[in-house]
Amino acid sequence: MPEDSPEDSPMDVAACLAAIDRSDAEIKAWAVLDRKAASNSSGALAGMAVGVKDIIDVAGMACCYGSPIFAGRIAEADAELVTALRMAGAAILGKTVTTEFAFMQKSITRNPHNLGHSPGGSSSGSAAAVAAGQVELAIGTQTGGSVIRPASYCGVHALKPTRGAISRAGVLQTSQTLDQVGIFARNLNYLARLGSVVTNQPDLEDALNHLPAAPPRLLYLDGLYGARVQGYVHEGLQKIATALPSHIDILPAPAAEIARYLETHKTIYDFEICQNIGPLMSSHESQMSAEILAAIKRGQKVAISDYEKALIERDEAALYFGGLLAGYDGLLTASATGEAPVFEEGTGDSVCNCLWSLTGYPCISLPISGRFQISGPKGLGVGVQLTATTGRDSALLGLARWLETRLG
């Protein structure tokens, strides 16, 4: 993939609205649209429009969490990250469609590359809006795989930074332990620019202009997630790993530890979604999907002792993977188990992302093209995911630029 041009001219609000008018009747990426949105003339994001996932408050706009229970809810104040966007000059163009409570029920949004397929979830509208060229920047959230997986299915760039790097004040809470905010963009330059604003880490942009001083070293875990990942994805990653033998070490995936910590993630998620969304069941059960009700009921069966044990295991997982990645700049994996599923089959498997939601590690999805592109039988691409340890967000951006350049 060629390096992004620093001189790329961003679309203005009028161009974004025109693009939405051309395509959103079919794609359905937007829950709320502000046709009077305006940006400031100064700031890092001056003149740029941003879509914000509809579980994040924007003052004066509806924020319904993808649920009929909250139809007509109007946010009274901006979420902290929205305040940061405004201060940087961005125009808040509207709210992008989310799945119900940012969970597993499919949304109305379609994949712009093939309308018969899902854009993924739960940040469905954010990924699809960027992929469709309706907007160049969007905000999403991830508790399992809700940023990186939709980015993979839709062929866009996305970053889930270190847990806590982006404020969650004013964002729907489904899991106090696992919820994280992430971002989408048309290219790495815009991704770093947006990331610098919402994380208050100006060095994210600088990282793109300073490739690693020493030759990068990546780890690739052969057979990671086993049969849950499509064979062509394993083959595509193996092709990349073997093409860069001086930079990528190949080791067998630690299956037992992977399985253990995936279960840890599930235990925490089920318990906490039951805590946070479960109280709605008493008066609104008929308005809740089978998917969210099943998760709440699973959470009701999790003993406090098992939940507390899982929280300890979460800390253990961060230490374990920190040891595994010691001496490496990052981990090379797939962003998703395969290409986007057929729309009627739901939003896809998040197994490729759950461990990094559990540990809070930063990760990035890159839509690789050319001879190293990983594509499924329907011709839809699969993103490449890079993961680094806690706090190495800036280094991860530089590593992403390096890998795109190498594979271009």
Residues marked as catalytic: 53, 122, 146
Place of tokens 């986007």: 340
Find how far residue 393's CA is from the centre of its chain: 14
Strand 49-53 vs strand 137-142: parallel, antiparallel, or unpaired?
parallel
Q: Whole-angstrom Cα distance, residue 405 to residue 342? A: 32
Task: Return the beta strands (E) in 213-372 as ranges.
Answer: 218-222, 248-252, 330-334, 363-366
* Local structure of 133: helix, strand or coil: coil
**Helix locations, 159-254, DSSP H:** 188-199, 203-208, 231-243
Tokens of 284: 């609104």
Q: Whole-angstrom Cα distance, residue 254 to residue 237? A: 17
- Greatest alpha-carbon pair distance for the chain in Å reads 60
**Residue 398: how many other CB atoms lie within 10 Å:** 24
Q: How far apart are the first and last CA of the chain?
A: 4
> What sign has the CA pseudo-torsion 238, 239, 243, 244?
negative
Nearest to 37 by CA among 95, 96, 94: 94
Is there a contact between 155 and 381 (Cβ–Cβ < 8 Å)?
Answer: yes
Strand 91-96 vs strand 157-160: parallel, antiparallel, or unpaired?
unpaired
Burial of 273 (0-12, 13-18, 19+ CB in 10 A): buried
State the Rg of the chain over Cα: 20
* Local structure of 79: helix, strand or coil: coil
Q: What angle do CA 276, 277, 279 make, to 5 degrees?
A: 95
Is the link from the previous residue into 305 a cis peptide, with omega within 30 of 0? no
Q: Whole-angstrom Cα distance, residue 289 to residue 104? A: 9
Backbone angles phi, psi at 333, to 5 degrees: -145, 180
- Residues forming a β-bridge with 294: none
